[in-house]
Amino acid sequence: MEWYRKHPHEHRHKMNHLYLSMGVSRQGHWEAVKRATEQAQKEPYYIGLMAEVREMHPGMGLRTMYDQFMPEGIGRDAFIALGLREGFRLKAISNPVRTTLSVKSHKYGNLCIGKQFTDVNQLWVSDIFYFPLNERHYYVVLIMDVYSRRLLGYSVADNLRAENNLKALDMALNIRGIEHYHFGLIHHSDKGSQYISSDYTGVLEDRGIQISMCNDVLENAHSERVNGTIKNDYLNRWTIKNVQDLQTCMGKAYTYYNNRNHHSLKMTPLQFEAYIQTIAPQKRPIMEIYTIKKSTENPLQLKFEYN
């Protein structure tokens, strides 16, 4: 006892006995120490990576960041824990304003019901979201090719007139560079007044594009998702002082979104569009869109379909 009182931080136990009691080998212990030391030395690199990615993709979560960049020498849980410790936790952002001025119309139904898609330019979707700035609301129109997740067109305005939707549509048409979509491209949207306007539908009809409108907001889920990504993962994370900044930042978000890996694609939209051209149509992934339709047995029952 006298020896322990004089040497409180020392012991007479053999290290092999300690390793055995902990269920590890001497080699395993030192390998773990080595890994921990190497990871600690690399922490500045990981933190720098997080900062660089957040600058370009300010709404990208730590889990998505790890899955996309797969940094060597650190596991996903440790990467996330390090990011949270260093203040990279994302703050949730709410969206309280409604942008759809719905018009009762039975002229255009949902053409996505029962359809399967295996290529780009088979289904485009469009929607609008608002962006508050200097006590005003600005509105962003987006058009996306659902199969490749590629954003094709956008516009920013201080009103909800159809001319702004036409700007986004013109951009999409110019990017694709196809004069007439005789193969049956579908343009899908909600029943907002902008999409039902004669100017807008006239352009679609002149190009041979089929017009589809959802019966329920859930049937435009792809648009809702990309709206949330552009607004909450990009625009709301940047410092935007005026409408010129908003226009510039929307252009950046458009570019970054099309050049980031998407979980469902395992690559960027631009890479995916090039990739599928190397695959025979019958061997490409099949996409079906979520729809709600009335059951024939009970007109009040809703049937949900998703693949």
pLDDT of residue 217: 66
**Is the Cβ–Cβ distance between 144 and 222 less than 8 Å?**
yes
Give the contacts of 27 (CB within 8 A, at least 6 positions apart): none
Residue 287, pLDDT > 80, answer yes
Q: How far apart are CA 83 and CA 61, in angstroms?
A: 10
Among 19-23, 40-44, 136-140, 173-177, where is mean pLDDT lowest? Answer: 19-23
Q: What is the pLDDT of residue 85?
A: 81
Tell me the mean pLDDT in the region 220-228: 86
Query: Nearest Cα to 207, choosing from 121, 266, 135?
Result: 121
Closest listed residue to residue 235, CA positions, set 140, 155, 150, 144: 140
pLDDT of residue 105 exceeding 80: no
Residue 76's pLDDT is 82
Q: Which two tokens stand for residue 122?
A: 């088979």
**pTM score, whole prediction:** 0.66
- pLDDT for the residue numbered 155: 97
Q: Is residue 18's pLDDT more than 60?
A: no
Question: What is the pLDDT, as a whole number, of residue 298?
Answer: 37
Q: How confident is the model at residue 5 (pLDDT cuts 50, 70, 90)?
A: low
What is the Cα–Cα distance from 297 to 294, expressed in whole angstroms?
9
Specify the pLDDT at position 22: 61
Query: What would the mean pLDDT of 218-224 be, rounded to a whole number?
Result: 80
Q: What is the mean pLDDT of residues 211-222?
A: 82
Residue-level pLDDT at 187: 97
Query: Around 167, how many Cα atoms within 13 Å sit in the side-chain half-sphere?
Result: 13
Q: 119 pLDDT exceeds 70?
A: yes
On the question of pLDDT at 48 being above 90, the answer is no
